[in-house]
Structure 1
Amino acid sequence: MTSIKIDRSACQGYGNCVLALASVFDVDGEGLVVLRRDTVEPGELDGLRRAAYDCPTDSITFVA
C-alpha cells in the first residue's frame, strides 16, 4: 500500500486533489484538504499521482 500525507498549512483549497481522486481526498468546512483514508491500493496509484501533480501548493506527498 501507498501512504499519503497532506500539508494543510500549505493547502489553499483549490480542490484539484478531489477532482483527481475523490475516494481519498475531500475538503472540510474551511475548504482545506482532508483525507478520507491515508493509504491507497495499487489500482489507485495513478489517481494519487495525478492529485499530487495537480496540487499547485505541493500539499500532497506519498511513499509508494
Structure 2
Amino acid sequence: MSANTLVTVHAVVRGPRPFRRVEIQGYDAGPAFRPEDVLRLCRDRGHQDVNLDDPTQVTWVGGDARTWS
C-alpha cells in the first residue's frame, strides 16, 4: 500500500471470474469484481466518500479503475 493512500486495489487475479484484491488502510478488505465493489468495501469499513479517481485516496496496481480482466 502506498503510505499516503487509504485504499490499494491490486492487480487482476485471472480465473473464471476475475477479481482484484482490495486493501483498506493496509488490511485485506476482500475481493472486488467491479469498481462498485471497491466503493462498497470502503463503505463497509466506514469510509463513505472515497473517490476512485483520486490518487491521494486510491492506489491502483496493474491497471486503473477500468481494468477488470
| TM-score with structure 2 setting the length | 0.27
Decide which structure has the larger Cα Rg and report it: 2
Please identify which structure carries the higher strand content.
2
Whose RCO is larger (CA < 8 A, sep 6+)? 1
| TM-score with structure 1 setting the length | 0.28
Please identify which structure carries the higher helix content.
1
